[in-house]
Every structure is written in structure tokens, then in C-alpha cells.
Amino acid sequence: MNRRFSIGAVFLISLATAAIVATVIVWTGGVREGFGVSMSVAPDVSDSDLKPAAWFQPQPKSFADLAQRVSPAVVSIRTAKKVAGGRRMMPFPRFGPQDPFDDFFEKFFDGRPPGELARSLGSGFIIDENGTVLTNNHVVSGADEIEIELSDGRKFKANVLGVDERSDIAVIKMDAGSKLPVVRLGDSKAIRPGDWVMAIGNPFGLEHTVTVGVVSAKGRMIGGNAPYAKFIQTDASINPGNSGGPLFNLDGEVIGINTMIHAGGQGIGFAIPIDMAKAMIPELVEKGSISRGWLGVSIQDITPELAKSFNMEKTEGALVTEVYSDSPAAKSGLKRGDIIIAFNGEKIDEPLDLSLQVGQVKPGTDAKVTILREGEKKDLTIKVGELEQGKQAFKQPNIGGGKADNLGLVVRSISPDDAEKLDVPASFKGVVVVRVEPDTAVAMADVRTDDVILELNNIKIQTIADYEKAVVALKPGDFVRLYIKRGRGSVYLAFKL
């Protein structure tokens, strides 16, 4: 029995030894001549093969050095305002899935007695050693008192130098009596989704809170009452009180101003690109407000259907739906139906790109505009005007009866009553939409009651006869492009019949 056990043990030990040798051979990269095990890397493997790929950047071991270096230039901002009861804006805009834009700013301080001070918190960062601070407009808007606290505990009163409500950017100033630490402003165009970022701010009064994450996306557009910008989205945790604080890259440069969060989500925050603020700071400091450029056009997106109707391969650019009389655009020769694809050499992918580019140009400046007109590329020079507050369009539904035509519409000539309601001259020509058949291509294209059809596939529509003749000529599968007056504006719509 003992002999058998010994033989079995020897056999098992031999197997284990062979397995270990085989593992060593594989792990060390092969064998030399004969059966000698090589403990060195195979000769055809170079040192460069062992290095991480060029695109791979390991996670930093710590953000502590970066936070320590930039924190002194980050400040807490406390504001106070006398209120007459009711509600008070909280200095951190947010939007959520239920009512994202109509109630854009979360509100608090409900039911305060008349004359009581409403206090709120925010963040900011010092951009020059004399005490100039950049923050959000909604942090300091309407404040009767502004107090800035530095990272070392010192507190100073501050005054507003300039604000821009449209972009939600403000510049304020404190007098510390000595030189202060400052941040460096970076290049927000250079960042990419996946880049590491760090936010520092004052969430819920927890001063100099450091959070880290990555750039989740760039160029986010948010409608409603959101600030006028294409946002940087980040998952670096930001909360109420972070508003106006900096979003840093790993070089310690500010690439964004933390501005708002998604109320219904986690890790979804938004920052205004610092490039936008850099262009505005000198004018805000000097004048206290921003003068924006103006072309005098209405524009819209290029849908896939519109792109096909204009023989375009891509849905890019801003389609001009209306050129206002005696405007800079009209004087330059820009026409309705032109598609603006570049402004001062900057590519225009969508209408907001054009609005942002034009808004940053000083009034009176000559701008080069590249357009597509009937498939041909042309360059125009436009002397940019100054933007003025426009009037809101109105909408009044008018549900009518009758049998729908081949497009799925019921239309009629413009009556004197229609002209008055639509705010057009009595001599205005076109056909007004009375009813839109549901679940049709024209309904999916967003044609609405009270729209006035002025053109159908470049055919001018002035009477019912013009409209009927154009519709009869259409065949199933044709693309239809309508030019429509809607309220005080105009719009192109396209769909496949």
C-alpha cells in the first residue's frame, strides 16, 4: 500500500513539474536550442512593443497637485437681495424630463416676508490679479449685495462690471488691495469627449469642493430659456452652488463655466465653453454689456427631405427663409432659399452656429458669407448690423372642414378676415391652410393650420388655381418643398409624397 502511494505521488509530482515548465516557457516567450528554458524576451520583440499604445493615457494617480495649484483662484460668491415675498430664483439652472424648459430655473425661498433678504450661493474664478472674477449672470443677477470669499478665508465686497443675460455670463470686481492668484483660460475647441476634467466650486455651501470626470460630449444644444451657447457636457459632479465655477483640463486651464444640470439625471452637467466667454470679457469690462451682430434673416435647419429637394448630399448649413427689407443681408444680395454654409471661414453645420458666429461680430464689421444658391457656391460680403430685440410671432389655430387634397391639406384663399388675423395686407397673395389631415406626410412635416403657402416646389402660389395646378402635377414619390408664412416669420418644409 505504501509502495503504491509512493509511485502515485512521484507521478503526480512529475506532472506538476512538467506543467510548471510549460507555463514558464509560454510566459517567458519561448525556448532556446534544445530544451533549455529562456528567461529573456524573444529577440523579435522590441522595447517599443512593450509600451502602451500612443492613444492610451493612464488615469492620473491623483488630482491633488492640480487641485492645490488652481484652487486659490476659485472663489465662493454669496449674494443677497431684498424680496417682497413670493419666490426667488436659485442660482443654478436645471432642466428635467417632465418640464425641461418652461420652468427652467429651479426656484426656492418661497413665501418670505416683505423686505427680508434672500441669500444665495454660487462660484466664480479670478481672471486677473486685480480681482476681476468671471461667473454666471444668474449667480449675481438682481443682487443688492455681493460678497466674495477666497480659499484662504478672506472676504471682499464686489460690484458688477458687466453682464450678458443671453449667454449667462457676468464679470464682477473686488478690491483685495493686493495681487491675487489667477486661472489660465484654455481652448475649449481643443477638448474631446473622454478628456479628463475637474470642477471646483461651492455646491450647497460646501466650499472648494473638487470633483472629477470626463467630457461627455461637446456642442450640446438646449432649447427653451437655456443660455445662448453650445454646451460642454460633463459627468464631473456639479450641483447647485457650482454655478459660475470653473471646469479645468489636466493642464490647469479653464475650458468651461459650470452652468446647469439635468434635474432628472445624475452625472449630466453642462458648462459654457470658455472660448465664448473670452470673446466677451473685454466688452463686458469696458461697456458693461454686449453689442451683437445682426444680418436680418430668418433661418432654419436643413432636414433630410429639404436636403434632397435642394440636391444636397448632407444636412448641413442654415437655410434662409426670409430676408428682411433694408437689412444688412438684403443690401448684400442674400436671398430667400440661400443656404449659408460658412461665415468668416467658420463652417456652419446648423442654424445656431450661424447665430453664435454673427452674434460675436461687432456691428459695422464686414463679414464674408459663403452660400449655396441653386447648387452653386458663392461668396458674399455683408456689413453686419446691430441686433435689436424682435417681436414674438403669434399662433391662432383655425380648424376647418372640407375634403383634403392629395397632399392631405384643406386650403382656401386669404379672406379679409384672414388678412387681419394673420397680420398681412388685404392684398396679400397665397393660400391659407384650413386643416391638416392627421397621419400624413404633410402632417409629419409640421405643416399647420393658419400657415400661408407662398410657394410649392419653386412655383409661386398666389391663388387657389395656382395651388391646385401645382398639386395635380405631383406624383407619388415626389419630394414636395413648401415655402410658408407662419405668424410673423417664414419657414421651408419638405416631405416625400
Q: Which long-range contacts (CB under 8 A, 24 or more apart) does 235-238 make?
A: 235/267, 235/268, 235/269, 236/197, 236/198, 236/199, 236/211, 236/212, 236/269, 237/199, 237/211, 237/213, 237/267, 237/269, 238/199, 238/201, 238/203, 238/211, 238/269
Q: Could you tell me the CA-to-CA distances from 161 to 129, 135, 158, 174, 479 in Å, in that order?
A: 16, 11, 9, 10, 54
Strand ranges inside 292-442, DSSP E = 293-294, 297-300, 318-323, 339-343, 346-347, 366-373, 376-383, 385-386, 409-413, 431-436
> Would you say 445 and 407 are in contact if contact means Cβ atoms under 8 Å apart?
no
C-alpha distances (whole Å) from 304 to each of 309, 448, 473, 479, 493 are: 9, 20, 23, 11, 11
Rounded to a whole number of angstroms, the distance between the first and last alpha carbons of the chain is: 93
Q: Give the separation between CA 276 and CA 264, rounded to whole angstroms.
A: 27
Active site residues: 138, 168, 243
Q: How far apart are CA 208 and CA 67, in angstroms?
A: 9
H helix runs in 269-350, sequence order:
274-287, 304-309, 328-332
Integer Cα distance of 357 and 346 in angstroms: 8
